Chains A and B, each alone.
Chain A
Amino acid sequence: DQQVKQNSPSLSVQEGRISILNCDYTNSMFDYFLWYKKYPAEGPTFLISISSIKDKNEDGRFTVFLNKSAKHLSLHIVPSQPGDSAVYFCAADENSGYALNFGKGTSLLVTP
């Protein structure tokens, strides 16, 4: 039972444009959301997070938006760079403090 869904397996964006990665969740008890980036042969790297009490969090080129009523979050990368090409995972936590629930990932390709 997939509680975190990333319905786009892949996304291709031109360098300098905006990348928007989407994530939906079904468990209304999730209260903390994270995005991880993963390069081949490496573990996931924490990118940005957002608590359910906020609707936006920004860190440099990366912004995460949370729409609780729609159970939807998105990651915006502006401007996109070729080094951003990686698999992006959305994850959610039910205030357990330990068990992250991951989506299947979206493979982002940023072309020059």
Chain B
Amino acid sequence: LAKTTQPISMDSYEGQEVNITCSHNNIATNDYITWYQQFPSQGPRFIIQGYKTKVTNEVASLFIPADRKSSTLSLPRVSLSDTAVYYCLVGDRMGYGGATNKLIFGTGTLLAVQP
């Protein structure tokens, strides 16, 4: 399973756009890129998932370049409530080769949003 590297922490202010980049140099052909958000005293919560190019949902966008060796989570106009740890994960979502959707979490990026 591919290992991911992301910044330990980031600071931002309310209303700004935040981009968190994740490096996954050894990503495999069948791997998808998934981002989770975790607030204190809660379990991680799914944010977005993608395979290539750009994916957008109601809370975030995910940009994946052609070589797929990195990805960027973009949070538009953050608020104080977006302060959380953000995890980038790669894994074989489709189950090829007997994969089991195993998620390997790193230490994540602690995003601190200030007023």
Say whether A and B bind each other: no
Give chain B's interface residues, CB within 8 Å of chain A. none
Give chain A's interface residues, CB within 8 Å of chain B. none
